[in-house]
Amino acid sequence: MRVRGLRRVYGDVVALDGVDLDFAVGTFTAVMGPSGSGKSTLLQCAAGLDRPSGGTVRVDGVELGGLGERRLTLLRRDRIGFVFQSFNLLPSLTAAQNVALPLRLAGRRPSRGAVRAALDRVGLGERAGHRPAELSGGQQQRVALARALITRPAVLFGDEPTGALDTTTSREVLGLLRELVDREGQTTVMVTHDPVAASHADRVVFLVDGRVSGELTAPSAEAVAAHMAGLERGAGAGGSGPAAEVAGAVGRTGDAGVTGGAGRAGVVVGRSSSC
Ligand SMILES: Nc1ncnc2c1ncn2[C@@H]1O[C@H](COP(=O)(O)OP(=O)(O)OP(=O)(O)O)[C@@H](O)[C@H]1O
Ligand SMILES: [Mg+2]
């Protein structure tokens, strides 16, 4: 996926101001930045949920701007997965029925096997008959992930997918996202405010005022927190927010020992269109 010169203007608010980014197949990118910096707008435009005011978005070889509503809807349904902070599951439906719902609404009838396979991919094959109220927050988000993944989308987007979860459950979902990238080459783009969450990604892109202000590759939580603290100081926020507080937290889950901390991070300052 690639975006070029992406702009989104709402009235006199410039939410995105010329964003150029590449998202290589099979990579996991975190998007961070102060509140209002354009993170959700970037995801919505990249996912074809919102039409940009300018610039281009190419997903899976297709320029979204050239598509009419019908073809855009089909591409969104088949090639794009999206999960949100709130899991958006229907409480009266079982996990399996929730996973099948988007396809059923589109007039398709996914087989039980396909639904079960989607739930298996997120480790919930045994919970197919459970309703959301009978599942933990992390399990509910995993059902939402299964629903997003059932079509095998080219890109999975998450807008603060762990924002409503406690630390332990959040790590569980992040571990799963990482596994989907490593095991299945699932291209993934996730907005997060949490440096530890971002450290699960291959790279972090920082947005400020609708522009890319920098990137970190192989990010450690410490490096991300330090970068965010700098951005918040730059924005006059004093640098004492949550990002600053987690400086010193552990690096990416699964790293051997503590040597994988800040030393692994490669800092790329300024815009970069390579990946
Ligand atoms: N539908 C809309 N109508 C008007 N303004 C909007 C709309 N959506 C977003 N904006 C504005 O665009 C800017 C970017 O918003 P966006 O939601 O992308 O920020 P964000 O980085 O996701 O913030 P947060 O971290 O708080 O979720 C903000 O100034 C916001 O008020
Ligand atoms: Mg947002």
Q: b/e map of 178-194 (b: 16 or more CB within 10 Å)?
A: bebbeeeebbbbbbbbb
The reply to whether 248 falls in a domain is: yes
Q: How far is the CA of 190 from the centre of ligand 1 (A)?
A: 16
Cα separation values, 175 from 18, 95, 106, 168, 182, Å: 32, 21, 31, 11, 10
In ligand 1, the atom with minimum distance to the C-alpha of 44 is 18
Rounded to a whole number of angstroms, the CA Rg of the chain reads 18
Cα separation values, 120 from 11, 68, 130, Å: 45, 35, 14
In ligand 1, the atom with minimum distance to the C-alpha of 210 is 14
The reply to whether 91 falls in a domain is: yes
Domain of residue 210, CATH code:
3.40.50.300
The reply to whether 125 falls in a domain is: yes
pTM for this prediction: 0.86
pLDDT value at residue 235: 67
Q: Which residues constitute the domain of residue 129?
A: 17-38+75-253+260-269
- Which residues, in sequence order, are bridge partners of residue 267? 216
13 lines ligand 1 (CB under 6 A): yes
The reply to whether 221 falls in a domain is: yes
38 lines ligand 1 (CB under 6 A): yes
Cα(first)–Cα(last) distance of the chain, in Å?
Answer: 11
For helices 167-184 and 137-149, angle between their N-to-C axes, nearest 10 degrees: 20
For ligand 1, atom 12, the nearest C-alpha belongs to: 15
For ligand 1, atom 2, the nearest C-alpha belongs to: 10
Q: How far is the CA of 114 from the centre of ligand 2 (A)?
A: 32
Beta strand 211-217 pairing with 155-159: unpaired
The reply to whether 126 falls in a domain is: yes
Query: Count of domains in the chain?
Result: 1
| Alpha-carbon gap, residue 254 to 200, rounded angstroms | 9
- Which residues, in sequence order, are bridge partners of residue 84? 159
79 lines ligand 1 (CB under 6 A): no
CA dihedral 124, 146, 201, 211 (to 10 degrees): -150
The reply to whether 235 falls in a domain is: yes
The reply to whether 188 falls in a domain is: yes
Token couple for 44 = 């919505």
| Alpha-carbon gap, residue 253 to 32, rounded angstroms | 19
Question: What parts of the chain have a pLDDT lower than 50?
Answer: 237-275
pLDDT value at residue 233: 80
The reply to whether 274 falls in a domain is: no
- Which residues, in sequence order, are bridge partners of residue 188? 28, 156
